Structure 1
């Protein structure tokens, strides 16, 4: 017999939430096989069984908060079965005599069958969680995904569709307000709670200011248009804007090293490395995986790295090492159509660059007015470390490099 224990996750993580049990009581499990998925502040972690056997007991339910070191399941000896059908009771043969009274049909097997169907449905942890909260059976949902994986959008769409529900009870004075359909209460996920807490801490514990500038994207767009096909043929990866911005940021950080620093007590620690965080929006919230040593990578390597990290983020496969130790962050609200915003600092970093949507606007070029593709950019910074001169100079450097992309290539 072996206990399944919540493992050490990371130095700063002491607890997690049961996102999904991958095995149920009576199921066989091999040594090293995943048995449960935990949702932590940063990533989801799948926990393995250290012994082969049969799951005999689950000590925590999906949605429960569990601590590092806590026993959450027990694996016993035996071969078990992946179908937990009850065996016939030995007394059954003796009941050939007339029963004392007719027995009513039992509903339990139907419930067990429904539960089994739901367990077999392929769904993301976030979708399972939302389905539990809405009381929706996953097996009744028709997913959009051609592979049959149920996602949050499918659950939301199913939940909003009219269903032949049983008649609602007459309203009573003690009924909760949500019952009238005017509001919907949804419990925040652990990750969303952590995001909220940390953003509030940044606002309260830093002297954060934001400065703005704008970039004429004409030249970088023209260069990208000329080179994108050749770039793809040579590197098997598409040339986007993020590699240009990442390279421009690295060059600006080298020129203004305090923007690439952090505060440690009464010390300023200037980082001599350039690990650039790229904010990615996921179903569970914003995550910031890191492009390591961006100063040592060419455009193709940066684009490939960003693509891999973004896919891992969307598939909920990021690890703690993918998101730890960044020195500066870039966030792109432009993908959602944002024209201007003030990004909030990420953790202990003292600077974050916000990109925005590209919009054609009339701009004075010499003595003429021309329509140019323009982008507002924003640098939020900790004024305890960075003065206005460095913040404005940093942003101006990023602007100049992107408006003259040939200079950016020379600097990289």
Structure 2
């Protein structure tokens, strides 16, 4: 007999939530095979079994919070012939304990059990299982693209037209005096990650003296340069030239000029970082995550674009590791991809600066003595006023603006 224990996740993470059991009581499991997916504050972690055998017992149900070091399941010897009781009674058990049913009800109960068994036997990634559960899609009904039959997230998303299974009604919110329960409300429990995002954003607002300064960038030259170079850039590097590499390189240059923007507070000390690990905010279904482009000052445009593409894909597939998001000295967030014209970004963790990019919009601009239509972008720098004064914040943003409006110099100096 072997115990499945919640492993050490990271120095700052002491608990997690059981997102889904990948094995059920009675299932055979091999050594090193995944048995459960845990949702933590930052990433989802798949836990393996250290022993081969049969899953004897699941000690917690999906949605339960478990601590690091806690026993959550038992794996025993055998070949998977018998299935001991799970944390929650199965549909078959419930049917046997229920009052005698009519002839038409018995086949329905059997059908539910059969469908559940088919879904459990379907080979699917944890992320695909989670998405299918959220969308109410039976995995056994999906036709995967993978020739080996493994269902992926893309397969579940493409199966969006499938009829949803009847969901267990969520508890309704407390009603005010005289309020009728007319179905106008839906209660949805926040995921662990969403709860963490909420508490940390509130903590930043309460513990920092955050201010924001704004500027605008004429994107004419960088757009023209990108248009001229993008085909050759792709041929030589097998990665597309986007705007994020330009902004990342401009930010690194500005951080070198204004080192206090690349710092953090530690008690009564200001710690200036002598490295340039730039966080790139990525939106996922589970919330905003900030993977890190390490040593951005040592990377060229192609390496930065490649890193950003890889990290964004891992984020969308829920494959980011804790190491992908730990640390970071400065963050860039791009609300422009959603159409945001102007916003005030909130500082990320202990960092003292974050740059917000926004949508590019053509506007009439005075160029010399003429009015011209130019593609303009508003940018925002939120900063901790305890460390950074107005002079440095304005100077930092002005440097970013000047570099992006003269992108040839930026590429030559990188």
Q: Give how far 1:141 is off.
A: 7.3
The answer to whether structure 1 residue 321 and structure 2 residue 315 are counterparts is no
Q: Post-superposition, which runs of at least 4 consecutive aligned residues in structure 1 deviate over 6 A?
A: 83-86, 102-105, 140-146, 152-157
Tell whether the 8 Å contact from 1:144 to 1:154 is kept in structure 2 after alignment. no
Deviating more after overlay: 106-115 vs 350-359: 106-115
Distance 1:397 1:41 in 2: 35
Q: Give how far 1:20 is off.
A: 1.1
Q: Give how far 1:10 is off.
A: 0.5
Question: Please, what TM-score do these two structures have when normalized by structure 2?
Answer: 0.85
Distance 1:179 1:6 in 2: 41
Q: Name the structure 1 match of 2:73.
A: 73
Q: Name the structure 2 match of 1:93.
A: none
Q: Give how far 1:112 is off.
A: 1.8
Q: Name the structure 2 match of 1:264.
A: 266
Distance 1:364 1:58 in 2: 68
Q: Give how far 1:103 is off.
A: 11
Q: Residues 142 and 179 from structure 1, CA distance in 2 versus in 1: closer, same or farther, beyond 3 angstroms?
A: farther
Distance 1:346 1:39 in 2: 21
Q: Give how far 1:178 is off.
A: 9.3
Deviations 1:284-328 (A, max 9, x none): 000000000000000000000000000000000000000001000
Q: Residues 335 and 297 from structure 1, CA distance in 2 versus in 1: closer, same or farther, beyond 3 angstroms?
A: same
Q: Name the structure 2 match of 1:119.
A: 120
Number of residue-to-residue matches in the alignment: 381
Q: Residues 367 and 229 from structure 1, CA distance in 2 versus in 1: closer, same or farther, beyond 3 angstroms?
A: same
Distance 1:145 1:357 in 2: 35
Q: Give how far 1:215 is off.
A: 0.2
Distance 1:158 1:55 in 2: 32
Residue segments in structure 1 that go unaligned for 5+ positions in a row? 87-101, 166-172
Q: Give how far 1:393 is off.
A: 0.3
Q: Name the structure 2 match of 1:346.
A: 348
What CA RMSD, in Å, does the superposition of the two structures yield over aligned residues?
3.0
3-state SS of paired residue (2:229): helix
Q: Give how far 1:45 is off.
A: 0.2
Q: Name the structure 2 match of 1:95.
A: none
Q: Give how far 1:362 is off.
A: 0.2
Residue segments in structure 2 that go unaligned for 5+ positions in a row? 86-99, 168-174
Tell whether the 8 Å contact from 1:328 to 1:351 is kept in structure 2 after alignment. yes
Distance 2:143 2:398 in 1: 47
- The 5 A counterparts of 1:13-412 are 13-80=13-80, 106=106, 108-120=109-121, 122=124, 124=128, 126-127=130-131, 130=134, 136=136, 138-139=138-139, 149=153, 158=163, 180-412=182-414
Q: Residues 320 and 156 from structure 1, CA distance in 2 versus in 1: closer, same or farther, beyond 3 angstroms?
A: farther
Distance 1:142 1:125 in 2: 11
3-state SS of paired residue (2:350): coil
Tell whether the 8 Å contact from 1:216 to 1:403 is kept in structure 2 after alignment. yes
Tell whether the 8 Å contact from 1:8 to 1:69 is kept in structure 2 after alignment. yes
Distance 1:241 1:178 in 2: 51
Tell whether the 8 Å contact from 1:177 to 1:183 is kept in structure 2 after alignment. no
Tell whether the 8 Å contact from 2:137 to 2:163 is kept in structure 1 after alignment. no
Q: Name the structure 2 match of 1:6.
A: 6
Mark the structure with the bigger radius of gyration. 1
Q: Give how far 1:60 is off.
A: 0.7
Tell whether the 8 Å contact from 1:251 to 1:411 is kept in structure 2 after alignment. no
Tell whether the 8 Å contact from 1:130 to 1:152 is kept in structure 2 after alignment. no
Distance 1:85 1:73 in 2: 12
